[in-house]
């Protein structure tokens, strides 16, 4: 059984839960109270020195970084539907995983952290910066889902789980891009049973 250290409002945690659910893998959630700075405790730093969630234990193996965890699960359980073996499709999966982390994630953090979680204490300049960056990124995502059901073709992959988890986070700030293609794709990914279960803490909040 996998032990996943998570926080309900962590988009990075939710993408891993979505895959665990979809693959039918046994796991246990271990709540890390970010609101009480538990991530800075010596016990948790021994698991993830970056003091972030998620982190996953598989016996003696410790893994942090959500996309790395997704790849690990796919490799170990041969989840080729989620992580295609076809060279061309896998290249597109990798592209979107990296794009999500190196481009979209920063805008999401600027917007949601400051507009939602910090509230009146939030940095208004960071929100404006995040929204400006998101405006530049949205057409790229829109083009990526044009004329196909998912980011890498007609079936979902871990790239969809990863990118969609950031859009779920943006929904907390009512900041999901409004392009038609993104809207259709996001609704399609959000209807995946594992995604719905992973996002249940958000829906119930």
Sign of CA dihedral 8, 70, 115, 204: negative
pLDDT at position 27 over 60: yes
Residues 6+ apart with CB under 8 A from 197: 17, 18, 21
pLDDT at 119: 87
| This prediction's pTM | 0.95
pLDDT at 44: 95
pLDDT at position 204 over 60: no
DSSP 128-182: HHHHHHHHHHHHHHHHHTTTSSBTTBSS--HHHHHHHHHHHHHHTTT-----HHH
Alpha carbon of residue 106 to chain centroid: 13
Task: Give 203's pLDDT tier (boundaries 50, 70, 90).
Answer: low
Task: Give 52's pLDDT tier (boundaries 50, 70, 90).
Answer: very high
Look up residue 36 and give its DSSP letter.
G
Asked if residue 97 lies in contact with residue 159, where contact means CB atoms within 8 angstroms, the answer is yes
Structure tokens, 106: 């920063």
pLDDT at position 205 over 50: no
Q: Which CATH class is domain 87-204?
A: mainly alpha
Query: What is the CATH topology of the domain spanning 2-77?
Result: Glutaredoxin (3.40.30)
Average model confidence (pLDDT) for the chain? 95
- Closest-CA residue to 80 (of 153, 157, 195, 25): 157
pLDDT at 199: 86
User: Which of 33-42, 68-77, 128-137 shows the lowest mean pLDDT across its residues?
Assistant: 33-42
pLDDT at position 152 over 70: yes
pLDDT at position 106 over 70: yes
Domain boundaries, given as residue ranges, for the chain: 2-77, 87-204
User: Which of 17-26, 69-78, 196-205 shows the lowest mean pLDDT across its residues?
Assistant: 196-205
Residues 143, 98, 139: CA angle, nearest 5 degrees: 20
Cα 154 from Cα 100, distance rounded (Å): 20
């Amino acid at each position: 059984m996998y032990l996943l250290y998570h926080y309900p409002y962590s988009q990075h945690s939710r993408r891993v839960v979505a895959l665990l659910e979809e693959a039918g893998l046994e796991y246990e959630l271990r709540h890390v109270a970010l609101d009480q700075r538990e991530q800075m405790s010596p016990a948790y730093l021994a698991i993830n020195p970056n003091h972030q969630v998620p982190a996953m234990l598989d016996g003696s193996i410790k893994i942090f970084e959500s996309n790395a965890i997704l790849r690990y699960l796919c490799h170990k359980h041969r989840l080729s539907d989620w992580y295609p073996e076809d060279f061309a499709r896998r290249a597109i999966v990798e592209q979107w995983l990296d794009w999500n982390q190196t481009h979209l994630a920063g805008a999401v953090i600027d917007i949601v952290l400051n507009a939602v979680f910090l509230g009146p204490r939030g940095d208004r300049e960071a929100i404006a910066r995040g929204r400006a960056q998101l405006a530049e990124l949205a057409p790229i995502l829109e083009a990526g889902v044009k004329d196909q059901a998912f980011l890498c073709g007609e079936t979902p992959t871990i790239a969809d789980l990863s990118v969609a988890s950031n859009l779920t986070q943006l929904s907390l700030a009512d900041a999901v891009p409004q392009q038609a293609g993104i809207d259709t794709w996001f609704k399609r990914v959000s209807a995946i049973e594992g995604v719905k279960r992973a996002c249940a803490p958000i829906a119930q909040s």
